[in-house]
């Protein structure tokens, strides 16, 4: 059985996608939700989900912040963005954070089904793009490598908190915080907490990331 999660806050979109997939994929189990929180709950409740079809703009997230959050917690699950946004820069950033595919909503249902089939077979797909912004791709790729706990620690580092304060806030040891901070610096390819905080601020300003609450 193929298990697919559709996260989109437009009922008509979910319905159209559902009917197209059900008509093309045998033994299909579809789960629907409207928010990133709903997607996280669905993934936590069903570890066998084979693919997540995710809109970029949902009521509780915008841009790539939701995708980054989910990818950090479920790095082996293929995520395919389904969005009305066709800006090549946005698509490149989605690729950089690790999505397996990007489908513009203007695509036909036949094309959508074809692309999802490719991703289920282990391939990756996105529209043809022009030149890339290498610096921005490195930033997004670094954020995508961070775990949920490391993203929380990065948010607290950005808030100016010391390791001891972070340890108290997260109920973990100070040594564990130190290990995580070192890992964060390595993954973001920076050498100081200040640089890490600046990069996090850039990601927020560009709409790529929302600090976890």
Q: What is the pLDDT of residues 19-62, one digit of tens each?
A: 999 999 989 999 999 999 999 999 999 989 999 999 998 999 87
Q: What is the CATH number of domain 146-205?
A: 1.10.10.10
Quick one: tokens of 85? 């946004």
**Cβ count within 10 A of residue 48:** 8
Q: In which element (H, E) is residue 16 found?
A: helix 11-24
Q: What is the pLDDT of residues 145-191, one digit of tens each?
A: 888 899 999 999 988 899 999 999 999 999 999 999 999 999 988 88
DSSP state of 9: S
Strand partners for 24: none
For the chain, the domains span 2-120, 146-205
- What integer pLDDT is reported at residue 175 of this predicted model? 94
Residue 201 CA from chain centroid, whole number: 18
Helix axes 148-158, 163-170, angle to 10 degrees: 130
- What integer pLDDT is reported at residue 132 of this predicted model? 52
Q: What is the CATH number of domain 2-120?
A: 3.40.50.2300
Quick one: tokens of 139? 């930033």
Q: In which element (H, E) is residue 174 found?
A: helix 174-188
Position 130 pLDDT exceeds 70 = no
Residue 89 CA from chain centroid, whole number: 16
With contact defined as beta carbons under 8 Å apart, do 21 and 38 qualify?
no
- What integer pLDDT is reported at residue 135 of this predicted model? 65
pTM for the predicted model, two decimal places? 0.66
Count Cβ atoms within 10 A of the Cβ of residue 108 and give its class: 0-12 exposed, 13-18 middle, 19 or more buried: exposed
User: First and final CA of the chain: distance in angstroms?
Assistant: 35
B/e letters for 122-158, b = 16+ CB within 10 Å, e = fewer, are eeebbeeeeeeeeebeebbbbbbbbeebbbbbbbbbb
């Amino acid at each position: 059985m193929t298990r697919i999660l559709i996260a989109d806050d437009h009922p008509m979109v979910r319905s159209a996608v559902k009917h197209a997939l059900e008509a093309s994929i045998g033994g299909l189990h579809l789960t629907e939700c409207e928010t990133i929180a709903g997607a996280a709950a669905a993934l936590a409740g069903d570890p066998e989900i084979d693919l997540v079809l995710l809109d970029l703009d949902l009521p509780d997230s915008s841009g790539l912040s939701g995708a980054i959050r989910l990818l950090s917690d479920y790095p082996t699950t293929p995520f395919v963005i389904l969005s009305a946004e066709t800006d090549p820069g946005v698509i490149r950033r989605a690729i950089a954070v690790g999505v397996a595919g990007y489908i513009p909503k203007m695509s036909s249902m036949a094309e959508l089904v074809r692309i999802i089939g490719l991703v289920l077979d282990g391939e990756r797909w996105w529209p043809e793009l022009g030149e890339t912004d290498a610096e921005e791709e490195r930033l997004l790729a670094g954020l995508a490598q961070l775990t949920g706990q490391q993203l929380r620690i990065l948010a607290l580092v950005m808030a100016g908190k010391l390791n001891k304060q972070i340890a108290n806030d997260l109920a973990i040891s100070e040594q564990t915080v130190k290990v995580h901070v070192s890992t964060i610096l390595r993954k973001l390819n920076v050498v100081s907490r200040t640089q890490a905080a600046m990069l996090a601020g850039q990601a927020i300003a560009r709409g790529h990331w929302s600090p976890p609450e």
